[in-house]
Amino acid sequence: MSANGDGASPPLLDVESLVMHYPVPRGLVGTLARRPKGVVHAVEGVTFQVREGEMLALVGESGCGKTTTAQSVLRMVDPTSGAIRFRGQDITRLGARELRPLRREIQMIYQDPYESLDPRFRVRDTVEEPLDVHNLAGAKSERRQHILDALVRAGLTPPELYIDRFPHELSGGQRQRVAIAASLVLNPKLLLADEPVSMLDVSVRAGVLHLLDGLRQEGLGILMITHDLSTAAHFANRIAVMYLGRIVEEGPAQEVVTNPQHPYTKALLSVVPKRDPQHRSRPQILQGETPDPTHIPVGCRFHPRCPIAIPECKQVDPELRRTSGSRSPGHRAACIRAW
C-alpha cells in the first residue's frame, strides 16, 4: 500500500492492527463501589509501514497514541494485540533475550536533550555505552574510532572537540546530536525520533532535522513522532495523522498537507499558524478538546467534533480507504464522506 514500495523486499517496519490498552487503576472508592475497570484505549488498530530510506511522520495531538505506538515498536511495552514485523521478522511477542540483538537495529531519539544524557558521563562515555552493552569493538583504539565516526556522522565536527565534554558544557542542539551519535554507533536500520527538535531553539532545529534527513538518504528508515505539521510537511516522505488511537489519514506528505481528505486533518491544517502574517486563513477551530481515551465515541471516533458529521457517522467505524479526492494511490483517509 505504500507509495514507493517496490514489493520485492519486506518493509523495514511493518505494523499491523496494533492495539494497546492500559487498565486504569480504580482506587479504593472505585473498587468498593464496583465501578467497571476503565481501560485507556491508547492505540486502537494502527497499521503502517516504514521502508528503508523513508521518513514517516506520525502526527497528532496529545492523547492520540503516537508515543505509545513508538514505545510498542521499540518493544518497551507489550502490545495488547496486533503484529509488529521488523525486516520481515515478527517481534511482537519476543522476550527480552531475543530482543537484545534487535536493540542494535532499532534506536530511539527522545524529545528532551537536557535529560537524554547522563550528566556524569562524558560524551565519550555516552557514545561508548552502546558498544559496551553489546560487547562490540574490542581494542581501545578501535572503540575510539567508532566513537569519533559516530560523532562526525551526527554533525559534531571536529569530534575531538566534543569527546571529553560533559553534557552541561553543551548546548541543547549539541546534546541532541550526542544522543543521535550514541544511537548511530550501533549502525541501526530504524530510527524512532520522538519530537526530536521540539525542545530546541528554532535556529538549531533545521540542523538536526537535516541531519535526520541525511541519515534517511543513507538508507535508514525513520519514524518521526511530532505534533508539528509544518516540520512533518517539510521533512517527512509520508504523513500519518492520528486521532484517539487510530490513523485517520495517511499518504505522501505533500499530498496530505495540500489535499487533506479527512475533516480532522483539514481542521488541523487550518489552525496551524503560518509564518506569513498576510496568510491569515479562516481557522476551523474545533470546539472542546480531544475526548478521554477511556471513552471512545461509538461509530467514527471523530464524529462528536466533526463539522461535516452525518447521522450515519455514529454507526460506522471507518477504516482507511482511498478517497475520491485523493490524487495518489497511497493517500487514504478514514471518513465515509470522503470515500
Cβ closest to other proteins, residue 47 vs residue 223: 223
* CA 195/CA 110 separation, integer angstroms: 7
Q: Which is nearer to other proteins, 2 or 176 (CB)?
A: 176
Q: Should residue 56 be labelled a site residue for other proteins when binding is judged by CB under 8 A?
A: no
Of residues 151-180, those binding other proteins (CB under 8 A): 155, 166-172, 179
Residue 42 or 182 with smaller CB distance to other proteins: 182
Nearer Cβ to other proteins, position 117 or 333?
A: 117
Residues 6+ apart with CB under 8 A from 169: none
For other proteins, the binding residues in 91-120 under the rule CB under 8 A are: 99-100, 103-104, 107-108, 110, 112, 115-120
Assess 259 for contact with other proteins (CB under 8 A). no
Q: Is 98 left (phi over 0), alpha (psi -120 to 50) or beta?
A: alpha
User: From the CB of 104, what's the least distance to other proteins, in Å?
Assistant: 7
Going through the chain in order, the beta strands assigned E by DSSP cover: 13-24, 38-50, 55-59, 81-86, 89-90, 106-109, 190-194, 221-226, 238-243, 246-252, 321-322, 332-333
DSSP β-ladder status, 221-226 and 190-194: parallel
The β-bridge relationship of strands 106-109 and 38-50 is unpaired
Site for other proteins in 1-40 (CB under 8 A): none
Which cell is 212 given? 535526520
In the list 278, 282, 311, 324, the residue contacting other proteins (rule: CB under 8 A) is 278
CB of 239 to other proteins, least distance (A): 11
**Residue from 228, 297, 314, 339 binding other proteins (CB under 8 A):** 228
Binding to other proteins (CB under 8 A) within 185-204 occurs at 186, 201-204
Q: How far is the CB of 1 from other proteins (least distance, A)?
A: 25
Residue choice 230, 259, 294, 328 for contact with other proteins (CB under 8 A): 230
Rounded CA-CA distance 100/94 in Å is 10
Q: Is 217 left (phi over 0), alpha (psi -120 to 50) or beta?
A: alpha
